[in-house]
Structure 1
Amino acid sequence: MSYVLAFAGSNSSVSINYKLVKHTATLIKGEEVRLRDLSKYPFPMYSQDAEKENGFSNSLVEFNNEIANSKGLIISVNEHNSYPSAYFKNTMDWLSRIDSKFFADKKILLMATSGGGRGAIGALEVAEKMIARFQGTVVESFSLPRYNENFDEVKGIIDAKLAEIHAAKVASFVKSIS
């Protein structure tokens, strides 16, 4: 368990939450960070029939193993109508079929961003409850509102106050896994 696993709960190839995770990963010093783009993981919609007929895909088993072998997780969830996306929920459903405690003993930095002023707070709240259900511990939570105004793909978080809050939460997360 020598790395941090970082991913966004989105299957969009232009995910702003993935961009936030990617930026956050660059701030982790002294730890290996494995960044995963879930838009490259084609998990089908979960159903008992699909599980019975096809079992677990290799990519799902590999992703589950990466979670299990990590020392901590950085996750950013996207929001659809005040909830995490169906893709994020679907991924959690599949993982829970392999092991209902797939986040056990994992320290998690949970984040979200959106184009609106609430910064995907609704998705954050729901995702935090989901993570607890699967035995994970959210040690820090961060919301970035108004992504298009507050984030630059080269510079990162450009609002000084938000950048300071984010950096403090990243530092607290790193301390929790050290």
Structure 2
Amino acid sequence: MSYILGFAGSNSSTSINFKLVRHTISLTTSFETKLLNMTNYPFPMYSEDYEKENGFSNSLVEFKNDVQNASGIILSVNEHNSNPSAYFKNVIDWLSRLDKKFISGKKVLLMATSPGKRGAKSSLEISEKLLSRFEAEITDTFSLPSFNDNFSVEAGITDEKLAQEHATVLKNFLDATQS
């Protein structure tokens, strides 16, 4: 059975990117969805030595299968010092070691948010290039600046212009996923 998979590139229990993904997934009513909270995936820091000694964890294999069985992926990446978090990069390192084509051909709505005015745009740009390298099909990107001013858990995106932009990229992604 096919579904839209949603997750954030953060393992923080208070992740604002997870809140954005959860909101976005809630709007995809015409699809079955699966939302993963990455706090449940405590992958060790990748190293060749660790891989040789321990191989691949069951949770990594299950996560890869979730990615590959999805019709499309809604992902929001966080930003640390103008880059994707070490956690997100580590997840990509593990997935690519397990299967270089872990995300090949998957439609992806790539988002980012931060408390700052740039809305994690640097991380978004780097992540778009990184995922494209593994043949992900990025249908659209969306950056939500000033998260604390433009988002509420109850209402979602509160800025009308940003809410419309979000709705447009989500529609484009869902249309691309259906075709």
TM bin, normalised by shorter chain, reads over 0.9
Superposition map of 1:52-91 within 5 A = 52-91=52-91
Superposition map of 1:105-124 within 5 A = 105-124=105-124
My pick for the range that moved more, 1-10 or 115-124, is 1-10
Q: Distance in 2 between matches of 1:3 and 1:45?
A: 29
Q: Distance in 1 between matches of 2:40 and 2:84?
A: 19
Letter in 2 for 1:14: T
Residue aligning to 1:146: 146
Q: Distance in 1 between matches of 2:74 and 2:82?
A: 21
Residue aligning to 2:94: 94
Q: Distance in 2 between matches of 1:32 and 1:54?
A: 34
Q: Distance in 2 between matches of 1:175 and 1:35?
A: 20
SS in 2 for 1:154: coil
Superposition map of 1:1-178 within 5 A = 2-178=2-178
State the identity as a percent. 58
Q: Distance in 2 between matches of 1:151 and 1:30?
A: 23
Corresponding residue pairs, total: 178
Letter in 2 for 1:158: T
Q: Shift of the alpha carbon at 1:29?
A: 2.0
Q: Distance in 2 between matches of 1:29 and 1:16?
A: 22
1:99-132 deviation digits (Å, cap 9, x = unpaired):
1111111000000000000000000000000101
Letter in 2 for 1:128: E
Q: Distance in 2 between matches of 1:99 and 1:59?
A: 14
Q: Distance in 1 between matches of 2:85 and 2:42?
A: 15
Q: Distance in 2 between matches of 1:177 and 1:134?
A: 18
1:127-157 deviation digits (Å, cap 9, x = unpaired):
0001011110110100000000000011000
Letter in 1 for 2:96: S
Give me the CA root mean square deviation: 0.6
For normalisation by structure 1, the TM-score amounts to: 0.99
Q: Distance in 2 between matches of 1:7 and 1:100?
A: 20
Deviating 4+ runs (over 6 angstroms): none
Q: Shift of the alpha carbon at 1:39?
A: 1.1
For normalisation by structure 2, the TM-score amounts to: 0.98
Q: Distance in 1 between matches of 2:87 and 2:94?
A: 11
